Structure 1
Amino acid sequence: MFEISRRRMLGETAAMVALAGAGPFKAFAATAPGASSLPDTEWRHYAADQASTRYSPLDQINADNFSDLEIAWSFKTDALGARKEYQFEATPLLVKGRLYLAAGSRRDCIALDAASGELLWMHRLDEGQRALNSPRQLSGHGVSYWTDGTKERILYVTTGYRLVSLDAATGIPDPDFGTNGIVDLKLDFDQQLDPDTADVGLHATPLIARDTVVVGAAHAAGDVPAVRRNVKGYVRGFDVRTGKRKWIFHTIPRKGEFGYDSWLNGDADEAGNGGVWAEMSADEELGLVYVPVELPTGDEMGMFRRGNALFGETLVALDIETGKRRWHYQLVHHGLWDRDIPCAPILCDIPVDGKLVKALAQPTKQAFLYVLNRETGKPIWPIVERKVEAGDVPGEWYAPTQPFPTKPPAYDVQGVTIDDLIDFTPALRAKAVELVKNYKIGPLYTPPVVSKPGRWGTIISPGIQGGTNWPGGCYDPETHTVFVYSKNQPGVIGIIPNTNMTVSQFPQVHGISGEEPRPQVAMGSETNGAPPPRRPAPAPAAAAGPPPGFLAVDGLPLLKPPYGRITAIDLTKGDLKWQIAHGETPDNVRNHPALKGLKIPRTGRPGNLGPLVTKTLVICGEAGFYTNEYGVRGAMLRAYDKATGEEKGAVYMPAPQSGSPMTYRLRGKQYIVVAIGGGNYSAELVAFRLPGAA
């Protein structure tokens, strides 16, 4: 399972494209002139279908030939913007032989010929300072498609937070939609916003169901919030033909609305954020859209959002026609760990007690898969409230309990114990034990603490990025199995007094004692979403080991591997079927002098990855670069037997997977398409097919 195929190590990249729907979620098919006897298949939604399954029944590419894949074509996005992009998160759509996606640092909407990669049309809004101020930069996740059988439209959200509707054939704005094809999302938002500076944008695709376009909202990272009363991240539904607003759902309830009483002292009136930055799912038959909500303002500080504070970190089912709440389930009460629900729930029909139940499965940053009845919101297996520890941050409010699913079990490491620490050698373990003496450790939901020398903060696992993040998982309807990638990368949460009110209006913010508060940065800015480099806090001259806040032991990860894994979860039983380390061992681990002579199995590697499942395979690229035995730097696209997790093939890519793969069949040939990029390798879309398939 840990042996890697070394075939075709040069000149190849991996691209994966997955076909839509099964069961109640229909796949789309069309036969183009001159096509072979095999019908073309399409990928009309960001995650294959409205259920977010990322499933395709295609099997021309299979275990026997996966390692033979060759590049059919590639498309660089360097010219689409004033600067190159290195964080290319797109998954394209495939409709009638064309790929549609957003690309480039200015977020152009483009159409490509799916057989050749030729650019067919491009649409761009030059939004000036409004785009430069956006909290969500670069190309985002993608676009959405709609048709009534006659009209065909591509819709996307610009960097500056405008909703655009384009003719799918030409890329020309729809004159019947909004104003010249554009709806300004900073208007008609039940709050007054500055059009150029308001902290709101979106990376996610708009969701379209029953002729309603549902749009979420995202904000700058909230660990050091600039203001207390930030933009409220409401969710809205628009008429897909006209752009007229149909409804709005207040993710932070107003007085008199359901959920307002879950806030103490009227905190809901002042709080902001609470947006939906993740992708969403929809069940048109039930008339429901499933909305994963983030925290209100203050990712690790809740002193201004006291109480359980609905609908923070809550999955909400809304009526697609009216926006009315049908049900909700809060996954974390008064979160202090930045456990925003990061991705769309996967809708699935599963057998429970001999009956087929309409369910959903929600992957999370905390590495729990929450499985609920999607009609009612009730858990399929019991979710129990357990007491959790309170912290010591002045003015903070602590929830006494948190919900813990009894099934399925956690699919990655939760919390930190001594047994979780690096143990390649006794010396490394001893250093790790000494390091964690300067931190608070404990189980999942161990609270953040005031940072001070000797207790710099709380080590949390999974870290703030998860677990699972925005790409989410995939689902095989044949075996009722969810496949999800997760990373094992802990983080530190310390709370420090705010000494600079020009950076934040909060009296305490996320940080390490001795540091200055670090201002928020836009996701996808020049730093590609990373905060400014941490200035190490001062330490005594005799102190040894890494600076406070850095969780490394002689340059090695603090915790034992795997650092990244793929897990198969059986939804008929609520059990884990298999787990494998996903990703080649990082160079700094393989080549570390302290590990010389040790035989270490593949460790996997951390990142944000979305897998694809086909009739026989689970396919996923690697996060990050590694150097192979020929001295070539790159990453691998890997395929695993979906029944066992055994690796069946791998092909070389010049850069890591950055967007989730998809697949389609065109003129009898199956393609896999994936966005890659990172490090010093700029964004590229790569299409793979088998040899002789031209």
Structure 2
Amino acid sequence: MKTQKTLSLLTSISLALLLGTNFSCSPDQKSEHTTWSHYGGSPDQSKFFNGSQITKENVNQLEIAWNYPIEDNNFYSFSPIVVDTIMYVYGKNNSLIALNAVTGKEIWIHTDLRGLSRRGINYWESEDKSDKRLVFTLNNSLQEIDALTGQSITDFGTGGYVDLRVGLDRDQTSIRRMQSMMPGVIFGDLVILGSAPGETFFSPPGYVRAYNVVTGKLEWTFHTIPQPGEFGYDTWPKDAYKYVGAVNVWSEMTVDEERGIVFLPVGSPTYDFYGADREGAGLFGNSLVALDAKTGKRLWHYQTVHHDLWDYDLASAPQLLTINKDGKEIDVVAVATKHGFVFVFDRDTGEPVFPIEERPFPASEMPGEKSWATQPIPAVIPDFTRHEVTKETLNPYFSDEVKEQWYQRLDTAKSALYIPPSDKYETITMPGALGGASYGNTGTNPEKGIMYIMAQDYASIYKLSKVVPVEPVLSDDEKNKISTLYEGSCQTCHGEGMKGSGAGPSLINAGTRYSYDEFKTLLSEGRGRMPAFVHIEEATILAMHRYLGGSPSRFRGMMTASDAPEITGPVVASGGIKIPDDTTRAAPLEDYPADVVHPEDRYTTAYGTEWQALTAPPWASIFAYDLNNGTVKWRQPIGLDSAFSKGDKTTGAPSGTIRKGMVITSTDIVFATGKGGIVYAFDADNGKILWETTLDNESTGQPGMYVVNGKQYLVINASNRFDPSSYDFSKRPGALPKGYVVYSLPE
């Protein structure tokens, strides 16, 4: 095995040398922010890059250096990383591809990695650089590939993989999904992973775990839902750890390498909108948690939402900055939230740097529900979203007919911050579950104390209803619900009668192409421009799968070789590690354990995100926060919308920041992507647009930046179709195919 690996290494190095690849690497590059070998650039997720070539004066001269087509009809939200002069991307029918970062020429292709973590992968190398690995999750497994040869590493874990369903204190055969769309983060010889177990009743718990990169051994587990005897256990009902799920980190984790601290932005508990079975504050739900990265021991925490009923996950990367406040330098960690607030803490102690007040909010009227009486609100730092929808703030571009419909709805609905959902009336929450700041939406200039936030005003409309048992045959009521759901959330892209359109494929008999697990993952995580529908009840997902021709008893998808485009190029492997078929799967947990006292009824609500532009613009913006004094330095709209504003660039765009990202440079430029394929270069000091271009395809994923032989490059994933409401630039003359686009200054 070792001899074979050595030969493969020599072969790969020889090939790389032929391509002009240089494998040298400064030992302290990571801490200097001069590489982009992590999802957010470096383990601190700052999206900050230290490079001098691209400046405010010449940024408007950027031009396309090369592009790499993905060559299939899939949508990818993958965030490329660059190590030395090799770039790693995802495309060509779910293949991981190594490219020469100077020319875009393929070095190797590992095909058929269907189920790879959608947003990216991790890179790790040994101190002597003799061992270089790509670390990623593939469906419910943790796997690795040799970064130089593209071959799977078979002596990792057990037979080349680690089963992520093991060790969650639930029957692992009943766990359908644990994989997060995010790659986790590397610290030393550890890969620290979050999860996305789903957010319905009885989803698995979202424990955070660290594995040894070389062996696959589980090194530590942090119970986000505390067990008996652990800190925070008394903030839950005594048996909650047996049935409550989620409380997971599905987004970006941040590592302070110098201190050895990993900061976790923890999500909400299940069920998000009705918590009668989880009375109490519910630690560590909706909390920023600081752990010793080596041991997983809790150092401190702060809960930003008590007993969450609004799905206000912490979804953006905590940012590490050094600020100068009142003449004193303080190392801080700041987190921006879905509901539009910025919380700033001393990195060592967890003490708030700016005042936070506990303010009273309305009580829930739902049976059995005990909403928390107060919620923490920053008292000095201004918020960055609106918190109410009124008749006066409705979208002015609505037709008179639509406005009148909304006037009537608002007469009976309630809209304000922290109004608990009800079964008696609609609750219009602003921002909703997809609002505020999300993954990829925060970055920092660490030394200047400036934090950049991309955010959107995007409402959710909730109304609770009682959970009813699923029937073996679809009832007329189920068919009507599915039809209503389709018309409200899917028809815009997939067309009338599910026949497909320019924005989305046909869904006729789509259930036959996916196993139930794959179908549930698709709905829960989204794909391309399709949003995630994490709050659809399990029974509804099952009914929809059957409605589309699926069989819940089939575990694997039905894709055949004839469905896949032919792969051309240097293919070195296919399929990753072959995991044995699981013949012992049990049904997902669907009820409380027999010995647990629980509410008589359960309630759920639709996701309520049909109205992306419910209020007046701006709908999406980028902010610069000066955390030295807790003020907003500047704000600019971001993204292009053509449905309402007809191309007015001052409005921003609905969904303008979902699946987008940014790069902040040491030359005080903020690169950011927005809806409509727009790429901006903002002056970091005042927000002035220094350069703007429009991609031929929609941008997704986190942009990246790197330098090779003194030349600085910007790489952007432009592999998605445009929204039907946007201008379709892919049809203009000379448009590039979907893929990865790399910019640089002219020679």
Fold shared per TM-score above 0.5: yes
Partner Cα separation in structure 1 for residue 402 and residue 162 of structure 2? 57
Report whether the alignment pairs 1:349 with 2:351: no
Using a 3 Å threshold, how does the CA distance of structure 1 residues 59 and 424 change in structure 2: closer, same or farther?
A: farther
Which residue pairs with 1:142 in the alignment?
121
Which residue pairs with 2:369 in the alignment?
396
Structure 2 counterpart of 1:480, one-letter code? G
Which residue pairs with 1:462 in the alignment?
431
> How big is each residue's C-alpha offset from its partner over 1:134-164, in whole Å with a ceiling of 9 and x where there is no partner?
xxx7633333333323334333333322222
What's the secondary structure of 2:699's corresponding residue? coil
Using a 3 Å threshold, how does the CA distance of structure 1 residues 366 and 176 change in structure 2: closer, same or farther?
A: same
Which residue pairs with 1:9 in the alignment?
none
Partner Cα separation in structure 1 for residue 247 and residue 214 of structure 2? 28
Which residue pairs with 2:157 in the alignment?
178
Partner Cα separation in structure 2 for residue 524 and residue 433 of structure 1? 28
> How big is each residue's C-alpha offset from its partner over 1:435-461, in whole Å with a ceiling of 9 and x where there is no partner?
44245333321211215xxx3x11111
Which residue pairs with 2:663 in the alignment?
612
> How big is each residue's C-alpha offset from its partner over 1:524-559, in whole Å with a ceiling of 9 and x where there is no partner?
369944549999xxxxxxxxxxx996876xxx9331
Tell me which of 76, 87, 104 is aligned to 1:117: 104
Report whether the alignment pairs 1:318 with 2:311: no
Structure 2 counterpart of 1:431, one-letter code? E
What's the secondary structure of 2:404's corresponding residue? helix
After superposition, where does 1:372-383 map in structure 2 within 5 Å? 372-383=345-356
Using a 3 Å threshold, how does the CA distance of structure 1 residues 549 and 92 change in structure 2: closer, same or farther?
A: closer
Which residue pairs with 1:506 in the alignment?
none
Report whether the alignment pairs 1:653 with 2:704: no
Tell me which of 31, 41, 44 is aligned to 2:37: 44
Shift of 1:482: 0.7
Report whether the alignment pairs 1:492 with 2:461: yes
Tell me which of 69, 77, 100 is aligned to 1:89: 77
Shift of 1:103: 4.5
> How big is each residue's C-alpha offset from its partner over 1:72-110, in whole Å with a ceiling of 9 and x where there is no partner?
12222245xxxx322x2222222111112445664x433
Which residue pairs with 2:145 in the alignment?
166
Partner Cα separation in structure 1 for residue 350 and residue 165 of structure 2? 31
Shift of 1:326: 1.0
Using a 3 Å threshold, how does the CA distance of structure 1 residues 319 and 147 change in structure 2: closer, same or farther?
A: same
Pick 1 or 2: higher relative contact order, CA cutoff 8 A, min separation 6: 1
Identical amino acids, percent of aligned pairs = 30
Contact 2:117/2:183, CA 8 A, preserved across alignment = no
Shift of 1:166: 2.6
Contact 2:181/2:250, CA 8 A, preserved across alignment = yes
Tell me which of 668, 690, 693 is aligned to 2:745: 690
Which residue pairs with 1:64 in the alignment?
57
Shift of 1:432: 7.4
Contact 2:390/2:410, CA 8 A, preserved across alignment = no
Report whether the alignment pairs 1:100 with 2:88: yes
After superposition, where does 1:145-294 map in structure 2 within 5 Å? 145-194=124-173, 198-220=176-198, 222=199, 225=200, 228-294=201-267
Using a 3 Å threshold, how does the CA distance of structure 1 residues 349 and 489 change in structure 2: closer, same or farther?
A: same
Partner Cα separation in structure 2 for residue 56 and residue 233 of structure 1? 32
Which residue pairs with 2:710 in the alignment?
668
Shift of 1:268: 2.7
What's the secondary structure of 1:557's corresponding residue? coil
Partner Cα separation in structure 1 for residue 741 and residue 529 of structure 2? 25
Shift of 1:403: 0.7
What's the secondary structure of 1:437's corresponding residue? helix
Contact 2:118/2:181, CA 8 A, preserved across alignment = yes
Which residue pairs with 1:639 in the alignment?
681
Using a 3 Å threshold, how does the CA distance of structure 1 residues 429 and 243 change in structure 2: closer, same or farther?
A: closer
Which residue pairs with 1:575 in the alignment?
631
Contact 1:213/1:240, CA 8 A, preserved across alignment = yes
Shift of 1:402: 0.7
Structure 2 counterpart of 1:578, one-letter code? W
Shift of 1:502: 5.8
Which residue pairs with 2:719 in the alignment?
677
Structure 2 counterpart of 1:151, one-letter code? S
Partner Cα separation in structure 1 for residue 459 and residue 308 of structure 2? 17
After superposition, where does 1:352-371 map in structure 2 within 5 Å? 352-371=325-344
Which 10-residue stretch deviates more, 90-99 or 266-275? 266-275
Which residue pairs with 2:526 in the alignment?
524
Which residue pairs with 2:395 in the alignment?
422
What's the secondary structure of 1:589's corresponding residue? coil
Contact 1:582/1:605, CA 8 A, preserved across alignment = no
Report whether the alignment pairs 1:74 with 2:70: no
Report whether the alignment pairs 1:558 with 2:614: yes
Contact 2:136/2:144, CA 8 A, preserved across alignment = no
User: Root-mean-square deviation (CA), in Å?
Assistant: 3.5
Contact 2:209/2:221, CA 8 A, preserved across alignment = yes
Tell me which of 613, 618, 622 is aligned to 2:674: 622
Which residue pairs with 2:46 in the alignment?
53
Question: TM-score scaled by structure 1?
Answer: 0.79
Structure 1 counterpart of 2:644, one-letter code? V
Shift of 1:428: 8.7
Partner Cα separation in structure 1 for residue 428 and residue 412 of structure 2? 7
Partner Cα separation in structure 2 for residue 264 and residue 515 of structure 1? 36
Structure 2 counterpart of 1:141, one-letter code? G
Shift of 1:355: 2.3
Report whether the alignment pairs 1:449 with 2:395: no
Shift of 1:410: 0.5
> How big is each residue's C-alpha offset from its partner over 1:496-531, in whole Å with a ceiling of 9 and x where there is no partner?
12234469xxxxxxx999978999623136994454
Structure 2 counterpart of 1:491, one-letter code? S
> How big is each residue's C-alpha offset from its partner over 1:32-63, in whole Å with a ceiling of 9 and x where there is no partner?
xxxxxxxxx42122111221111113242333
Structure 2 counterpart of 1:652, one-letter code? T
What's the secondary structure of 2:180's corresponding residue? coil
Structure having the higher helix fraction is: 2
Report whether the alignment pairs 1:588 with 2:567: no
Contact 2:226/2:241, CA 8 A, preserved across alignment = yes
> How big is each residue's C-alpha offset from its partner over 1:600-657, in whole Å with a ceiling of 9 and x where there is no partner?
944444331222111221111221x3xxxxxxxxx32111111111111112201222
Stretches of structure 2 lacking an aligned partner (at least 5 in a row): 1-24, 473-479, 490-518, 541-605, 723-729, 731-736
